[in-house]
Amino acid sequence: SEIRSAIIQTESNGVILRCDTIGSIEAITELLKKENIPIRAADLGNITRRDILSASAVREKDRYLGVVLGFNVKVLEDAEKESFERKIKIFNEKIIYNLVRSYSEWVDYEKLHADSIIFNEIPPICKFQFMKGYVFRRNSPAVFGAEILVGKLKQKVSVIDEDGKKIGVVHQIQNEGKNLDVADKGMQVALSIKGPTIGRQINEGDIFYTDLNSREARLLLERFPDRLSEDEQGIFDFILSKKRQADPAFGYL
């Protein structure tokens, strides 16, 4: 009954808490209540992929509550990978007060720099071309030479073709053997993309664009209408038109 009273499972918005003992759950729950920080779930054990998925669902409604707090526990490998892909923040400490303090300080910082942080989380608008004669590997992943025609290309972003069809995810960007986080307009780089096979889904000379989801498009339309260059705005309009052919509500919801 002591365990049952300490463990929290709700469907409401709040942080996810994982602790090593019942006592630490009770102590941290009390501290969070004093700070008016709601809890969606509190349980014993290591941080799992399921915790990240739960936090991701919360983040859709409240970016400041969509996090995982861990006290004296481990982050499992699949949880670490999922948190990176979904941009879910994990706070994992061995001192109770440090846990609550580091989370609170992060919230303060995020709110202070909210516009810049949110804009930088949106995949940069980009148009790039598969350079002819530069096929390095056909699949798993496909590796080829590409020229950045407009905007910037980042690692880990999804890309679409000229018909708006999803092609895959940029795995790595290299220039002269060195890994890059970002490739700028005018650069010629080697790209590896997970998903397609050269000669089937993609071919030399093809043009590609970064993919956006509806929420990201809406942010660019409503919150950041002046952040794109003239060239980037043209590419964004093109992506928007392709997406709205498949989903007329794209960028509105």
pLDDT in tens, 61-76: 999 999 999 999 999 9
Mean local confidence (pLDDT), 227-234: 96
Residue carrying structure tokens 């109770």:
96
Residue 215 · residue 224 · CB < 8 Å? no
Of residues 3 and 239, more confidently modeled: 239
pLDDT band at 11 (very low <50, low <70, confident <90, very high): confident
pLDDT at 1 exceeding the cut of 60: no
pLDDT at 110 exceeding the cut of 60: yes
pLDDT at 4: 53
Mean local confidence (pLDDT), 106-129: 94
Other beta carbons less than 10 A from residue 37's beta carbon: 20
Fold (CATH) for 121-246? Elongation Factor Tu (Ef-tu); domain 3 (2.40.30)
Strands 68-71 and 15-19, bridge-based pairing: parallel
SS3 assignment, position 69 = strand
Share the mean pLDDT of the chain.
Answer: 94
Residue 150 · residue 127 · CB < 8 Å? yes
Mean local confidence (pLDDT), 75-88: 93
Specify the domain boundaries for CATH 3.40.50.10050 within the chain.
2-112
Residue 96 · residue 24 · CB < 8 Å? yes
pLDDT at 8 exceeding the cut of 90: no
Instruction: Give the CATH superfamily of 2-112.
Output: Translation initiation factor IF- 2, domain 3 (3.40.50.10050)
pLDDT at 116 exceeding the cut of 70: yes
pLDDT at 2 exceeding the cut of 90: no
User: Of the segments 4-18, 106-120, 141-155, which one has the largest average pLDDT value?
Assistant: 141-155
Specify the domain boundaries for CATH 2.40.30.10 within the chain.
121-246
